[in-house]
Amino acid sequence: MTINLFSDTQTRPTDAMRAAMASAEVGDEQRKADPTVNELQERMADLLGKERAIFFPTGTMCNLVAIAAHTTHGDSIVLEHSGHVLRSETSGAAAVSGCVIETIRGERGMFTVEQLNEVMTPGNQYAPPTRLVCLEQTHNFAGGTVWPLDRYSTVADAAHDAGVVVHTDGARLMNAVVASGASAEAWAAPVDTIWVDFTKGLGAPTGAVLAGDDEVMERAWLLKHRFGGAMRQAGIVAAGCLHALDHHVDRLADDHANARRLADGLAELGFTVTPPDTNLVYVDPRPVGLTAKGFATAMASHNIEISTIGDRNRLCTHLDVSTADVDAALDAVRAVLAEGPTDGLTAAPPAYDG
């Protein structure tokens, strides 16, 4: 049996979720006539404290639509340099909205008001105007990190003071809620639009919900149709999202505990580990003589799937990973280390960088 630590997108619907989906009341979502989709949208608008929420097939489409709703061609977007909008969405902001992306090199995925003020500009005949700041909560490539609420709010306030709109990629927002103790509404209040993905830690097979005020959501509704995101009897999948809201939020704390257990075990074995805030464990395997690709290949031979991101590996805990699975994964790591490096798996020691 394979233990999948590759991503929390790999989860399978539980039997109870499948039952909820099978019995869902459905209608024509494109005509706003699917009662289950409508219930999900109403609940998410209430949860996030926004005027309106819209169901989308994917989180990437939420970002794509939000950026298009907030900007015009030639505008500038600001985000942290390893943000998902830039690194994992095939240049959608540039291709669809014609926007330039200005990056800030943050610390653990976060930046300061001073850094933000350095890059925002009203625009002139030489430079595009800054129209949008994109935040990410939790921040994936920084290690599933959680912005402190006061810092998050201060950065959003600075953008608004400059007349710039703020959007939050909240793919793993509920992980941040559980880890921080701050409500979803508290994270949504400082920003103009925000979305939540149901296919990651919440375990649904598809779906995400974007929320904001009525005006921007009306633009988002039209863009959803333009980009091919309108659906028909979508209540079948929306029911999975509703089930996740009712049953899979509080249990995210289990994923966080398993991530800490995994991180501690890897650190004891000599890996350089980024301490996890939530359910993502990033490690550098070079101190134990392996490349990231080599480590992933070796773990796969022991039926453990992990991902490779640059020089690091990411191991992700989720509802399909138990504490026993974490211990089994650590046993597999011990076996890999005992086997020793093989051709193509070795790495030079990391260079000292100060």
Per residue in 199-243, pLDDT (tens digit) is: 999 999 999 999 999 999 999 999 999 999 999 999 999 999 999
CB atoms within 10 A of CB 310: 11
Where a domain ends, among 247, 270, 288? 247
**Residue 354 belongs to a domain:** no
266 and 239 inside one domain: no
pLDDT category at 49 given cuts 50, 70, 90 is very high
Which range of residues forms the domain containing residue 46? Answer: 13-247
Cα separation of 33 and 35, whole Å? 6
Does 172 share its domain with 222? yes
Please indicate, yes or no, if residue 4 is contained in any of the structural domains.
no
Same domain (yes/no): 195, 266: no
Could you read off the pLDDT of 87-137 as tens digits, one per residue? 999 999 999 999 999 999 999 999 999 999 999 999 999 999 999 999 999
Q: Do the domain assignments include residue 309?
A: yes
Residues 129 and 82 in one domain: yes
Residue 126 Cα distances to 49, 75, 121, 162, 273, angstroms: 39, 12, 11, 19, 43
Task: Please check whether residues 229 and 85 belong to one and the same domain.
Answer: yes
* Residue 147 within a domain: yes
Q: Are 70 and 199 in the same domain?
A: yes
State the pLDDT at residue 354: 39
> What is the pLDDT at residue 346?
54
Does the pLDDT of residue 264 top 70, yes or no? yes
Tens-digit pLDDT profile for residues 242-256: 999 999 999 999 999
Q: Does a structural domain hold residue 42? A: yes
Verify that 108 and 239 share a domain, yes or no: yes
Domain boundary among 199, 218, 247: 247
1: in domain: no
Same domain for 127 and 262: no
pLDDT tens digits, 147-193: 999 999 999 999 999 999 999 999 999 999 999 999 999 999 999 99
pLDDT range class, residue 340, cuts 50, 70, 90: confident
Q: What is the pTM of this model?
A: 0.94
Query: Which ranges of the chain would DSSP assign to H, the alpha helix?
Result: 15-22, 35-48, 59-70, 84-87, 92-97, 113-119, 149-161, 173-180, 184-188, 214-226, 235-247, 252-268, 292-300, 323-339
* Dihedral sign computed on CA atoms, order 77, 81, 87, 90: positive
Domains identified in the chain, total number: 2
163 with 48, same domain? Answer: yes
- Would 141 be classed as within a structural domain? yes
Tell me, yes or no, whether 292 and 211 share the same domain.
Answer: no
The CATH code of the domain that includes 72 is 3.40.640.10
One domain, residues 205 and 190: yes
Query: What pLDDT sits at residue 206?
Result: 97
CATH number for the domain spanning 295: value is 3.90.1150.10
On whether residue 172 sits in a domain, the answer given is: yes
- Tokens matching residue 122: 């009203």
Last residue of a domain, one of 213, 247, 281: 247
- Whether residues 291 and 224 fall in one domain: no
